[in-house]
Amino acid sequence: MAWFKREKQKISPVEKKGVPDGLWVKCPTCSEFLYKPELDKSLSVCRHCSHHFRIDPKTYHDLLLDKGSSKEMFANIRSKDFLNFKAEKKYKHQLDTATKRTGQNDAINIYIGTINSTDVILGIMNFVFIGGSMGSVVGEKVSRMIDYAHENKLPVLLVCASGGARMQEGAISLMQLAKTSAKLAQFSEGGGLYIPILTDPTTGGVTASYGMLGDLILAEPGALIGFAGPRVIKQTIGQDLPEGFQRTEFLKEKGFVDHIVTREKMKSTLYNIISILHE
Ligand SMILES: [Zn+2]
């Protein structure tokens, strides 16, 4: 058996044009280069194709709530390492690292504040905190937020960004699906208004619980929204998946999302919905 040997030199890669670090960003949808300070001013939305880049929770907070109106709630709840979990890294270390990186105690912050002078309670998930995973703390904070809203007759808004349940907390994480869903059912029976805002990415246990239980479900354009990833689904059903599968626009067409809202219009849209639906 003959072995073929490469005699010529490998083709050397073309040198990439230098892009100064941090100043320019390439849009993953239209490939245009965007000047970072300008992109920040436009709420991290591409001016060529309207691609919505992921933004941090603080930007979302400032985008939605009236300046100076907000107060953080339930900030001091921290996760316990119930299982003494260790995979590549110890769970305890992961928590410490995530806290240092984000300045948060877990993957969600809750605020009371106002939108155009209307009182709301708002949860914002942080994908940077262990993939925005839902463990005992996220479940507990969401539950307390709903209780608080019930007592004070506030609409509940929740900006979702999550990779799913937090496997490091095992079954305790999975219980949060039932816990938050039950709370929302009670809230709804009592006439409460709940609006989830699905951002890129909203997947796994969050999609399977409070992500999809809104009176109205809003989503940002182009966000990945689904339960299992496309590769797993493809393998399971043995079929190719349609184009745009698990993106906001596809989900809207299939009836899972009610309204696609650009970042620019998010605050005014929420205000309009609350004005109409909240008693
Ligand atoms: Zn673009």
Which domains occur in the chain, in start order?
A: 21-53 (no CATH), 55-277 (3.90.226.10)
Report helix, strand or coil for 277.
helix
CA–CA separation, 18 and 20 (whole Å): 6
Ranges of H-type helices in 68-219: 91-102, 136-152, 170-189, 204-207
How far does the centroid of ligand 1 lie from the alpha carbon of residue 24, in Å?
13
How far does the centroid of ligand 1 lie from the alpha carbon of residue 157, in Å?
28
Strand-pairing partners, residue 193, are none
How far does the centroid of ligand 1 lie from the alpha carbon of residue 38, in Å?
13
Low-confidence ranges of the chain (pLDDT < 70): 1-20
How far does the centroid of ligand 1 lie from the alpha carbon of residue 217, in Å?
25
pLDDT score of 237: 93
How far does the centroid of ligand 1 lie from the alpha carbon of residue 62, in Å?
23
The mean pLDDT of the chain is 93
How far does the centroid of ligand 1 lie from the alpha carbon of residue 33, in Å?
8
How far does the centroid of ligand 1 lie from the alpha carbon of residue 51, in Å?
5
How far does the centroid of ligand 1 lie from the alpha carbon of residue 45, in Å?
8
How far does the centroid of ligand 1 lie from the alpha carbon of residue 31, in Å?
6
| 164 membership: H or E segment, kind and range | none
How far does the centroid of ligand 1 lie from the alpha carbon of residue 221, in Å?
12
How far does the centroid of ligand 1 lie from the alpha carbon of residue 3, in Å?
46
pLDDT score of 25: 95
pLDDT score of 22: 76
Find, among 152, 146, 145, 106, the residue nearest to 129 by Cα. 106
Residue 120, judged by CB atoms within 10 A of its CB (0-12, 13-18, 19+), counts as buried
CA–CA separation, 158 and 154 (whole Å): 13
Contacts of 89 (CB under 8 A, 6+ apart): none
pLDDT score of 82: 85
pLDDT score of 13: 60
- Residues having C-beta closer than 5 Å to ion ligand 1: 27, 29-30, 46, 48-49, 51
How far does the centroid of ligand 1 lie from the alpha carbon of residue 114, in Å?
32
Classify strands 259-260 and 118-125 as parallel, antiparallel or unpaired: unpaired
| 13 membership: H or E segment, kind and range | none
CB atoms within 10 A of CB 234: 14
Ordered DSSP codes for 54-109: ---HHHHHHHHSPTT--EEESTT-----TT--BSSSBHHHHHHHHHHHHS-SSSEE
How far does the centroid of ligand 1 lie from the alpha carbon of residue 266, in Å?
20
How far does the centroid of ligand 1 lie from the alpha carbon of residue 66, in Å?
29
pLDDT score of 279: 75
| 260 membership: H or E segment, kind and range | strand 259-260
pLDDT score of 12: 64
How far does the centroid of ligand 1 lie from the alpha carbon of residue 32, in Å?
6
Q: For a pLDDT cut of 70, what percent of the chain falls above it?
A: 92
How far does the centroid of ligand 1 lie from the alpha carbon of residue 231, in Å?
26
Token pair belonging to 78: 């921290």
pLDDT score of 16: 56
